[in-house]
Amino acid sequence: MQALETVAERITVVMPVFNEGDTIRSTLLEASRKIPRIYDNIVFAVSEDGSTDNTKDALVSMASEMPNLQLHLGPRRKGYPGAAKDAILGVDGKTDYILFMDSDGQYDPTDFGLLWREIKKSDVDMVVGKRMNRVETPLRVFLSTGLRILEKIMFRTKQRDITSAFRLMRVGPAQSIAREVKYSKYNFWLEFTAIASLCGYRMQEVPVVYRAREGTSRVYSGSKILEAAVQELTTIFRVWRDYSLREIRRETGCQATATLRSQ
């Protein structure tokens, strides 16, 4: 097994949670067992809002067992994009890196080691876990492939998996990009990756395990998938319009990037 790194840099593991009462305990226990074996300066920041099952109770009981668990509980459901954005912007000021990970148990926390080694080796702003063995309906594969190709043409994204929710990011870039995400109603990461690409952030991909989900998607129920695809298509065009207009007016579309780059 790889040696444990004892370093001063802090990683906050950000996890959005909605109605995961049946699995959140095992997901958090697995992450808190596996990630600190690779890296020990870890805090878990779990953002829950509006769950109608026993998720809140499960989280409160876990907080008494895990001293490095920070809970953010909210009364009303924000929707995935709002929850992801607030969670990234809400990490505490001691954080150096954000490991974003959905809390549905689909990612294997052991793969954090691959992301960590890659960010240190290639000195990029973000390393994205490219999901292997995705099991999805043909309709979903068709729609997500279409959106990926469009995003590649419009924003010159180089990544294959532009919507992965397993990413290790330097905190400055992650928050600058997240602040700009404003259109997406379903898929936060499509818009996030488009902005990151437009603003010239450096991204790298590494293949990661992707497991089957227990229970059904909280974001895309069967009837919502087409509506979501149309909404995300609109989002892509709005982002493109915003940034090309800024370029025409010679405004800096990515002030945050420029500031970071000059430091």
Ligand X SMILES: Nc1nc2c(ncn2[C@@H]2O[C@H](COP(=O)(O)OP(=O)(O)OP(=O)(O)O)[C@@H](O)[C@H]2O)c(=O)[nH]1
Whole-angstrom distance, CA of residue 207 vs CA of residue 128: 8
Whole-angstrom distance, CA of residue 129 vs CA of residue 260: 24
Tell me: does residue 104 bind Mg ion (CB under 5 A). yes
Tell me: does residue 16 bind ligand X (CB under 6 A). yes
Please give the full DSSP string across 200-215, using - where no structure is assigned.
Answer: T--EEEEEE-BPPPSS
CA-based radius of gyration for the chain: 18
> How many angstroms from the chain centroid is the CA of residue 208?
14
Number of residues that bind ligand X (CB under 6 A): 20
Tell me: does residue 17 bind ligand X (CB under 6 A). yes
Tell me: does residue 49 bind ligand X (CB under 6 A). yes
Q: Give the closest residue to 41 by CA, choosing from 83, 71, 77, 6.
A: 6
Element (H, E) at 44: strand 42-49
Binds ligand X (CB under 6 A): choice among 39, 44, 80, 201: 80
Please identify, using beta-carbon distances, which residue of 135 and 153 lies nearer to Mg ion.
135
Element (H, E) at 54: none
Q: Residue number with the shortest CB distance to ligand X?
A: 217
Tell me: does residue 151 bind ligand X (CB under 6 A). no
Please identify, using beta-carbon distances, which residue of 42 and 83 lies nearer to ligand X.
83
Which residues are 13's β-sheet partners? 44, 99
Collapsing DSSP to helix, strand or coil, 127 comes out as: strand
Q: Which of residues 105-124 bind Mg ion (CB under 5 A)?
A: 106
Beta carbons of 147 and 232 less than 8 angstroms apart = yes
Q: Could you tell me the smallest distance in angstroms from the CB atom of residue 98 to ligand X?
A: 15
Please identify, using beta-carbon distances, which residue of 48 and 104 lies nearer to Mg ion.
104
Q: Could you tell me the smallest distance in angstroms from the CB atom of residue 70 to ligand X?
A: 14
Among ligand X, Mg ion, none, the one that 16 touches (CB under a kind-dependent 5 to 8 A) is ligand X
Collapsing DSSP to helix, strand or coil, 55 comes out as: helix
Beta carbons of 181 and 83 less than 8 angstroms apart = no
Binds ligand X (CB under 6 A): choice among 85, 104, 151, 167: 104
Tell me: does residue 219 bind ligand X (CB under 6 A). yes
Please identify, using beta-carbon distances, which residue of 119 and 162 lies nearer to Mg ion.
162
Residue ranges in contact with ligand X by CB under 6 A: 16-18, 20, 47-49, 77-80, 83, 102-104, 213, 217-220
Residue ranges in contact with Mg ion by CB under 5 A: 104, 106
